[in-house]
Structure 1
Amino acid sequence: MDLTTTAAEPARAPSRSSTIRRHYPWLVFALAFGLLLADYMSRQVLSAVFPFLKAEWTLSDSQLASLSSVVALMVGLLTLPLSVLADRWGRVKSLVLMAVVWSIATLVCALADNYPQMLAARFFVGVGEAAYGSVGIALVLSVFAARRHAALSGAFMAGGSFGSVFGVAAGGVIAVHLGWRWSFATMALFGLVLAVAFSVVVKERRNAEYAAEPTPDVAFRAPISTLFTNPAVLCAYVGSGLQMFTAAVLLSWMPSFFNRYYGLAPDRAAGLAAVIVTLVGAGMVVCGVITDRVGRSEMARKWTAAIVFCLISLVALGIGFGLSTGVPQLILLGIGAFFAGGSAGPTVAMVANLTHPSVRASAFGTLTLANSLLGLALGPFVVGVLADSLGLRDALRITPVVSVLAIAALVLGRRMYPSGLRELAAVHAVAPH
């Protein structure tokens, strides 16, 4: 009920303007989420056409992996500086420019005639996608109340997995029926259409009007160094990045795994891999909800939830890749995939909870950097190099071991969490009131 309504007045129906006000944040989320799907569709469509490129250009597994890892590498290197620039220049304009750059670069991939040309095009895909995740989530969270932030973060990050599903599944079907070049062209056109829609609907001034929280006092900005001096935050960065190693390997190499060891045609292999990737995304959402519930009364329990998710993934994938092909292996791989990205939501929540609002966008950029360098870039490339000497199956058997390191980092972060809160309180204490 409106605060101006008195006991003598009947409650009035919500005005059209109030309805628009309620819906606008969700429209921002929907369009930002759509562009995230386009981001990962352009990134992961490559996995669906691995068999075609390998046969047509006679590429090694390490060369194929480099085409995937160069994108994640550029994301890792450029996320933080581009996030800072976006905060200064304007998030909406920055996001639209990013989408245009990665979409045009993806279109260039469709025109590539050899490995060097494809590598150069993929380089610019990475440049365009570099800061989208951190700037996009910062934009979304800015128009929602804080009580929704954890759920929105998990759902937004899961968009990467869902985009990977669509990219791999659709890319495989298109490649079989129209040729691999059309796989890239389709993803590029989808991204350009969404970029136009985003630029028309989402406006900086309107976002400021709908902001759920007041903007931090511009007279005080916490030092950027606080992103790296809080030990608990560092543990969250490292734990998230190392666990992302496993998720990245599943995103990149499952189409090739099913093609080589299950004898499936590229389109069917991509379809089965899409199921695995869908489970990764679904796990991010479900595990995020579970984490919010168990951590409602005690925030430290979110660390414990992340640790448990990593442990389940480690056991399921470790046993699954060790089995021979068949239904038991597929079941275990599905379980492992579901929990492989389960720590994503909890670690985002921890980073947000341990950093000052004035540098939170940069904190998300740093988290993205860790996810990219330790996981998304390193994972596919390391497995590709190992596959050249050991074979893809044996390379994948080794992959889950990295989760042991992720668990160690998260356990350490949980122990340091109280001191991390004290450090954050000290930063708040020096801010003007």
Structure 2
Amino acid sequence: MNVLADEPVTTNQDAYLISKRQAWFAFGMTFALMFFDFIDRQVIVSLFPHIRSEWGLSDKELGALVSIVSIVVGAGGIPVALVADRMGRVKSIVAMAVCWSLATISCMFTANFSQLFAARAVVGIGEAGYGSVGVALISTLFPGRLRSAVLGAFYAAPSLGSVLGVLLGGAIAARWGWKSAFGVVGLPGLVLALLYLFVRDYRTLPLAADSNKTTQSLGDTLKHIFGTLARTRTLLWVCVAAAAQLITVSAIWSWLPSYLNRFQGMSPEAASRAAGLVVLVGAVSCTVWGAVVGRLALRRPRNKLLALSVLCLVTSIVLAGAFGGSYAAHVRFDLIVLGAFFMNCTVGVVAGIAMDIIHPGVRSTGAAVLSLFQNIFGLAVGPFLTGIVSDQWGLQSALTVIPLFSVLAAVCFVIAMRSYDADAARISAVELEREPLGGDALNAEVRA
């Protein structure tokens, strides 16, 4: 059933694939689920002081509770995306949302580190592939000219969700205990999962003229899919660059509440509020840079990569200086806020770049490859590596060194510029159709 009225549909890639109203409904629902996804994922970072005090955990163990989610998301993203690209994106997203919400609620019943670690891993199983499948869906429904801006706005959801997760975690822990936080943040995802059934999907396209043959084996299909992605050199370099930048982002997001608590003398609740402000700045900047970079690159789209390279260099300089320099507490915090405005610049834009160069028939899978790098080699590395370095040299030294990964990101973005034009040209003529739904499907059967 479709609750939104139909409007004429065109296959032009620079127009809406479905009605404008339906496309924005899909965006809003996908944004909302991503928002609660990151509330569930990041609520734990504001609980670190409480968990550390009650269970006596090391920084490495605390970091592992964040990293395990990203590892499982990255490892499971490609299998989930393969299924979604063939079976449907909307149904896959609904199933994942139900799974991660129930797993988050289960965290409140854990009694030790091992149980909490296992429950967090199940959260990752539910979230596996959600981001990549959601990106494939909304980027295909919207015109190509809006892709960077729309995805930039979409990727504000992780930052906003992280802000609320950090704030809620600190506030709930102060009133009702830290375990209660998991139950409170897990429930809304179940409601949104049911509402997501009203989102409109698009029809899956074959990669080649003969790809629908019943004689084609699963192995041949997978070989074709990953061969297509492997030949897209721009995607590979963008994956490495995006992961390197997210090492910096995830380290700051995960450890800033603990840093403010230990070195600035803030209470856990006050540290959560201050860290929430930093993450909120990142949410705003994600949308800002998505729009700015998209506009700067209207005539030469590959310049999106050059802009990201510059922004990553600025991130490294500001944050390394903020944690490594000798400043008054308020000056240091101001520099951290400034660095936060730059460090979240990549997420929406790199997703748009990936959609520019990936065949529509495997966009969920291609986005899952990007997600794998971002999660396993980016989001998972940052918290855990920072914890290891912190155990050896101290948390402040760790947060001084980690932003140097942004320099690696800058180099990789420049390298990716060399192949972008050729990769984008290969799919420029591909046309798309919406997926029949409700009455459309019935009429199609009658005509047949």
| TM-score (norm: length of structure 1) | 0.88
Mapped contact 2:258–2:271 kept (Cα < 8 A): yes
In structure 1, the partner of 2:216 is none
For the residue of structure 2 that corresponds to 1:180, the secondary structure is coil
For the residue of structure 2 that corresponds to 1:219, the secondary structure is coil
Q: Report matched runs for 1:314-393 at 5 Å.
A: 314-323=316-325, 324-393=327-396
Specify every segment of 5 or more residues in structure 2 that has no aligned partner in the other structure, as ranges. 9-17, 212-223, 431-448
Structure 1 346/27 Cα, relative in aligned 2: closer, same or farther at 3 Å? closer
Deviations 1:141-184 (A, max 9, x none): 33322222221111112211111111111111111111111111
| TM-score (norm: length of structure 2) | 0.85
Q: Give the share of equivalent positions with the same residue, in percent.
A: 36
Which of these residues, 394, 408, 411, is aligned with residue 408 of structure 1?
411
Q: Greater RCO between the two (CA within 8 Å, min separation 6)? A: 2
In structure 2, the partner of 1:289 is 291
Q: Distance in 2 between matches of 1:217 and 1:80?
A: 17
Q: Distance in 2 between matches of 1:327 and 1:220?
A: 63
For the residue of structure 2 that corresponds to 1:280, the secondary structure is helix
Moved more, 45-54 or 172-181: 172-181
Shift of residue 21, structure 1, vs aligned partner: 4.7
Q: Distance in 1 between matches of 2:186 and 2:369?
A: 27
Q: Report matched runs for 1:156-167 at 5 Å.
A: 156-167=154-165
For the residue of structure 2 that corresponds to 1:321, the secondary structure is helix
In structure 2, the partner of 1:42 is 40
Q: Report matched runs for 1:198-209 at 5 Å.
A: 198-199=196-197, 201-202=198-199, 206-208=200-202
Mapped contact 1:103–1:125 kept (Cα < 8 A): yes
Match for 1:404: what amino acid? V
Mapped contact 1:276–1:334 kept (Cα < 8 A): yes
Shift of residue 215, structure 1, vs aligned partner: 5.0
Q: Distance in 2 between matches of 1:311 and 1:384?
A: 24
Structure 1 31/316 Cα, relative in aligned 2: closer, same or farther at 3 Å? same
Match for 2:95: what amino acid? L
Which of these residues, 134, 137, 154, is aligned with residue 136 of structure 1?
134
Structure 1 151/388 Cα, relative in aligned 2: closer, same or farther at 3 Å? same
Q: Distance in 2 between matches of 1:137 and 1:288?
A: 14
Which of these residues, 153, 156, 163, is aligned with residue 155 of structure 1?
153
Shift of residue 229, structure 1, vs aligned partner: 2.5
In structure 1, the partner of 2:24 is 26
Specify every segment of 5 or more residues in structure 1 that has no aligned partner in the other structure, as ranges. 1-14
Shift of residue 325, structure 1, vs aligned partner: 4.8
For the residue of structure 1 that corresponds to 2:142, the secondary structure is coil
Match for 2:339: what amino acid? G
Mapped contact 1:307–1:343 kept (Cα < 8 A): no
Q: Report matched runs for 1:238-253 at 5 Å.
A: 238-253=240-255
Shift of residue 22, structure 1, vs aligned partner: 3.8
Structure 1 307/268 Cα, relative in aligned 2: closer, same or farther at 3 Å? same
Say how many residue pairs are matched.
405
Mapped contact 1:224–1:359 kept (Cα < 8 A): no
Mapped contact 2:84–2:364 kept (Cα < 8 A): no
After the TM superposition, list the runs of 4 or more consecutive aligned residues in structure 1 that deviate by more than 4 angstroms: 15-21, 214-218
Mapped contact 2:103–2:123 kept (Cα < 8 A): yes
Shift of residue 46, structure 1, vs aligned partner: 0.5
Match for 2:297: what amino acid? G
Shift of residue 218, structure 1, vs aligned partner: 6.7
Q: Report matched runs for 1:301-312 at 5 Å.
A: 301-312=303-314
Shift of residue 125, structure 1, vs aligned partner: 0.4
Which of these residues, 69, 74, 77, is aligned with residue 76 of structure 1?
74
Which of these residues, 273, 284, 293, is aligned with residue 275 of structure 2?
273
Deviations 1:358-402 (A, max 9, x none): 222211111111101111001110001111111111110101111
Which of these residues, 181, 184, 187, is aligned with residue 185 of structure 2?
187
Q: Distance in 1 between matches of 2:349 and 2:99?
A: 31
Match for 1:285: what amino acid? T
Q: Distance in 2 between matches of 1:215 and 1:158?
A: 29
Moved more, 408-417 or 311-320: 408-417
Deviations 1:30-56 (A, max 9, x none): 111111011000000010101100000
Shift of residue 130, structure 1, vs aligned partner: 1.0
Q: Distance in 1 between matches of 2:258 and 2:134?
A: 31
Moved more, 268-277 or 345-354: 345-354
Match for 2:340: what amino acid? A
Q: Distance in 2 between matches of 1:321 and 1:220?
A: 57
Mapped contact 2:140–2:360 kept (Cα < 8 A): no
Mapped contact 2:244–2:405 kept (Cα < 8 A): yes
Q: Distance in 1 between matches of 2:92 and 2:429?
A: 30
Q: Distance in 1 between matches of 2:148 and 2:359?
A: 16
Deviations 1:300-357 (A, max 9, x none): 2111110111011111101101134512211211111111121223322222222222
Q: Distance in 1 between matches of 2:362 and 2:196?
A: 25
In structure 1, the partner of 2:397 is 394
Q: Report matched runs for 1:66-105 at 5 Å.
A: 66-105=64-103
Match for 2:143: what amino acid? A
Deviations 1:12-32 (A, max 9, x none): xxx976599542221221111
Q: Distance in 2 between matches of 1:220 and 1:368?
A: 29
Shift of residue 418, structure 1, vs aligned partner: 4.1
